[in-house]
Amino acid sequence: MKIAILLPYKENYSKLNAGAVSIYVNDTTKLSKFKNDIRVYGSTESKKVLNKYININFKKKFYQSSSIEYLKCFISKIENKKTDILEVHNRPHYIDFLNNLTDSKIVLFFHNDPLKMQGSESVKERLNLLNITDKIIFNSNWSKSRFLIDLPYSINQDKLKVIHQSTSKTKIDFTKKKNIISFIGKLNSSKGFDLFGKAIIKILDNEKPFFYLIHPADFLDKKDLDSRYTLALERMNKFDYDEKINNLEDVLAYITSNNYKGVKLIDIAKSYRVNGN
């Protein structure tokens, strides 16, 4: 069973600054019984890449879609190789193009809200995806329910599966946790980092025993950062993938990367203070 996994072309599949999709793909390929037959394709300038990776080098052309150039280069890499399954992550608008150029079974994996992604916003687009893919996988029941909005009841839902983001279960000893709060995600306002920055300063001012670590996928402009956590950002950004994952074992509270309007992040953080409750 030969499997080719295609990442979004802006996804950084590297030990430094790996995003959520990269971390998920890297962890699941390690556990797969087909791990020796999996290859992950993406585009990064990093030399420290994660497992099973083949880089796609392509030149962006003026007046030409970068996505199309990326897909053409990907097809050129697999066209002479047997590929039983083509797994596309988080880019529904890639599917039409790929479907016309490959006989492989196509699996589409949603990591975000389908209704906010190019290629799956409309009912017509989602019905088309159901027609030309072999499986569509969601990382939550919520994202699946979003995909089904306004679709007819008669559709075949056997193609739709939910695989939750966690890839393995671990036992957690909260007595060994440290008073550390961690924000995980890209450092921009769409992920709520601006709210986290304001909240964490209040915690540092009022909760002296608290420490905080930040695990960034990307940097926000330094001018938007408070000087009191700029240093921590610079330090954490130098850690590679394995160091970040190991460090998370000490973290008592996590702030995930979404901008939940109306929710006070300082209250979320404080709710985890006593023995992980």
Q: pLDDT for 12-47, tens place per residue?
A: 888 777 778 888 898 889 889 999 999 999 988 888
The single residue listed with the structure tokens 């030409």 is 64
99 and 200 co-located in one domain? no
Domain for residue 167, yes or no?
Answer: no
Domain for residue 205, yes or no?
Answer: yes
145 and 258 co-located in one domain? no
119 and 184 co-located in one domain? no
How many Cβ atoms from other residues are within 10 Å of residue 236's Cβ? 18
236 and 127 co-located in one domain? no
- CATH number of the CATH domain containing 98: 3.40.50.2000
Which residue, 257, 216, 256, is CA-closest to 233? 216
**Mean pLDDT, the chain, whole residue set:** 77
Note the pLDDT of residue 261. Answer: 44
130/205 Cα distance (integer angstroms) = 52
59 and 19 co-located in one domain? yes
**Strand bridging mode 135-138 / 3-6:** unpaired
The pLDDT tens digits for 87-132 are 999 999 999 999 988 889 999 999 989 999 999 999 999 999 999 9
Q: Say how many Å lie between the first and final Cα of the chain, rounded.
A: 44
Q: Which domain holds residue 145?
A: 3-162
Report, as an integer, the average pLDDT of 50-64: 81
The pLDDT tens digits for 190-211 are 666 667 667 766 766 666 566 6
The per-residue DSSP string of 70-119 comes to: HHHHHHHHHTTS--SEEEEES-GGGHHHHHTT--SEEEEEE-S-GGGSTT
The pLDDT tens digits for 259-275 are 544 444 444 444 443 33
Domain for residue 134, yes or no?
Answer: yes
- The number of distinct structural domains making up the chain is 2
Domain for residue 130, yes or no?
Answer: yes
62 and 155 co-located in one domain? yes
220/234 Cα distance (integer angstroms) = 11
